[in-house]
Amino acid sequence: MKRHLLSTADLSADDATLILDTAAELARIADRPIKKLPTLRGRTVVNLFYEDSTRTRISFETAAKRLSADVINFSAKGSSVSKGESLKDTALTLEAMGADAVVVRHWASGGAYRLAHAGWIRSAVVNAGDGTHEHPTQALLDAYTLRSRLGSLEGRRIGIVGDVLHSRVARSNVRLLSTLGAEVTLVAPPTLMPFAVEGWPCSYSYDLDPVLPKLDAVMMLRVQRERMDQAYFPTEREYSRRYGLHAQRMAALPQHAVVMHPGPMNRGLEISAEVADSARSTITEQVANGVSVRMAVLYLLLGGSEPAIGTENEGGAT
């Protein structure tokens, strides 16, 4: 019976810690001449990407290959998908090809969930980002990065700033960080704050400056320029002035605090170039850590007779 990683809500503190500890061990093979482990030899991992994302796809591909798994990349452009093939038919094809795991990025919230539970496939499903819902491996690599820079996350204060409403990274991070004992504060203009955010396991503010001096880490989210046309904020200049992290604001952070960004960045909009390139920024580490974390996830889901983490596959064909 296979299980899935669809949402950080599926991870207990123990599950998350196991993933992070495993990733820490796996990170060491990056220093070896032979960056490969035989663990998933003979397994097939399919990258099913309905949204363009070179960075995440390569990260998963590297992770799978370092575990000696075979990787098949299936991207939406120019494939049967762009000719109108349904998710269901694509899934049935992958099942017929014998995929052990499907890493799926989908533009529809719930896309990964449907793939895992509709009864079309038996493989393990890893959610690489579904619409505006969740991006669990991103949250895991963010937590890993924070842990490696700050030590234990218990009681740490993390700020997440930007277009929270449309951000799957924010949703996953809020859940995971609070599971690991951190205190999260969301900062955004009211138009970009989710409805019913009062019920989320975090606090929130519409004003960035008072929040900064208390943080151990601040995570800047990408803001799409198109949101301006939909009246979420009036101009880029106003957004940047009120919510952008420039050098002056970075100076307001405590000495030890770090700056994170899931990428890709809009330099000059939510984050200034100076901040992005500063020593406090963990942006490039986040990318490297992504491979180790994704290796850990693939190993823990596929490496044994049963996974060590994840949710049940109730809808799976047996």
Partner 1 sequence: MTDGTETTVSPAAPASAAQAAMRAVLDASAVSRALTRIAHEILERTQGADDAVLLGIPTRGAHLATRLGGQIAAVEGLELPIGTLDVTMYRDDLRLRPARAIKRTEIPSGGVDGKLVVLVDDVLFSGRTIRAALDALGDIGRPRAVQLAVLVDRGHRELPIRADYVGKNLPTAQRETVQVRLAETDGQDAVLLGVKGAGAR
Partner 2 sequence: MSALASERLSTAADAFTERRRGGGGGDTWTIRGARILGGEVRDLFIRDGVFVDEEVGGAQVVDADGLIALPGLVDLHTHLREPGREDAETVATGSRAAAAGGFTAVHAMANTDPVADTAGVVEQVWRLGREAGYCDVQPVGAVTVGIAGERLAELGAMADSAARVRVFSDDGHCVSDAALMRRALEYVKAFGGVVAQHAQEPRLTEGAQMNEGEVSSALGLRGWPAVAEEAIIARDVLLAAHTGSRLHICHLSTAGSVELVRWAKSKGYPVTAEVTPHHLLLTDDLVRGYDPVYKVNPPLRTQADVEAVRAGLADGTIDVVATDHAPHPVEAKDCEWAVAAMGMLGLETALSVVQHTMVETGLLDWAGVADRMSVRAAAIGSLDGHGRPLEPGEPANLVLLDPSASRTIEPAEMHSRSRNTPFAGLKLPGAVRATFLRGTATVLEGKVIDR
List residues near partner 2 by CB under 8 A. 86-88, 106-111, 113-114, 117-118, 130-134, 168, 171, 194-197, 199-200
Smallest distance from partner 1 to CB 17, Å:
10
Token pair, residue 236, equals 């880029």
Smallest distance from partner 1 to CB 151, Å:
18
Which residues are at the interface with partner 1 (CB under 8 A)?
18, 21-22, 25-26, 28, 32-34, 36-39, 67, 299-308
- Residue 136 binding result from partner 1, partner 2, none, given CB thresholds of 5 to 8 Å by partner type: none
| Inter-residue contact 156 to 146 (CB < 8 Å) | yes
148 membership: H or E segment, kind and range: helix 136-150
Which residue number, 68 or 93, has a Cβ lying nearer to partner 2? 93
- Residue 3 binding result from partner 2, partner 1, none, given CB thresholds of 5 to 8 Å by partner type: none
- Residue 32 binding result from partner 1, partner 2, none, given CB thresholds of 5 to 8 Å by partner type: partner 1
**Which among 20, 9, 10, 12 has a CA at the least distance from the CA of 299?**
20
Looking at the DSSP assignment, which residues form a beta bridge with residue 191? none
Query: Strands 124-130, 101-106: parallel, antiparallel or unpaired by DSSP?
Result: parallel
- Residue 302 binding result from partner 2, partner 1, none, given CB thresholds of 5 to 8 Å by partner type: partner 1
- Distance separating alpha carbons of residues 10 and 36, to the nearest angstrom: 29
Cis geometry, peptide bond prior to residue 307 (ω within 30 degrees of 0): no
Smallest distance from partner 2 to CB 87, Å:
6
Which residue number, 170 or 223, has a Cβ lying nearer to partner 2? 170
As a dihedral over the C-alpha atoms of residue 258, residue 259, residue 261, residue 267, rounded to 10 degrees, the angle is: -160
Smallest distance from partner 2 to CB 72, Å:
21
